């Protein structure tokens, strides 16, 4: 559904901190921190994941699944599938 790095990037694009995302989603700051600390797909209560995704989308972020083209207009970033690491 969403990865920890994707969640951090979405929050960075919005220019909001973890407290603001917690407020927007109705979740606690520790819950947001646990989600962001995930190295792969965020695992947790489906209701909590849904709240975070909904909050990000309402704030203006389009979450793009791997292999799916973006359908919205506007600026953004996307990690290449074969990203080079130094």
What domains does the chain contain, in order, with CATH numbers?
4-59 (1.10.260.40)
**Cα dihedral value 25, 29, 34, 37, nearest 10:** 100
Are 33 and 39 contacting, i.e. CB atoms less than 8 angstroms apart?
no
Q: In Å, how far are 3, 4, 48 from 35, measured between CA atoms? A: 8, 6, 10
Residues 30-43 have pLDDT tens digits of 999 999 999 888 98
Residues 54-74 have pLDDT tens digits of 999 999 998 887 777 777 777
Tell me if the pTM is above 0.95.
Answer: no
Are 12 and 60 contacting, i.e. CB atoms less than 8 angstroms apart?
no
Q: Which residues contact 26 (CB under 8 A, 6 or more apart)?
A: 51, 55
Higher pLDDT, 79 or 20: 20
**Cα dihedral value 8, 20, 28, 59, nearest 10:** -70
Q: Does the structure show a pLDDT above 80 at 49? A: yes
Q: Does the structure show a pLDDT above 80 at 27? A: yes
């Amino acid at each position: 559904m969403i990865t920890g790095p994707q969640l951090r990037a979405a929050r960075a694009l919005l220019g909001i901190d973890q407290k603001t995302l917690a407020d927007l989603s109705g979740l606690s700051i520790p819950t947001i921190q646990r989600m962001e600390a995930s190295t792969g797909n965020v695992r947790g209560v489906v209701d909590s994941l849904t709240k975070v995704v909904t909050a990000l989308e309402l704030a203006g972020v389009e979450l793009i699944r791997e292999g799916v083209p973006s359908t919205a207009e506007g600026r953004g970033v996307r990690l290449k599938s074969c990203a080079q690491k130094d």
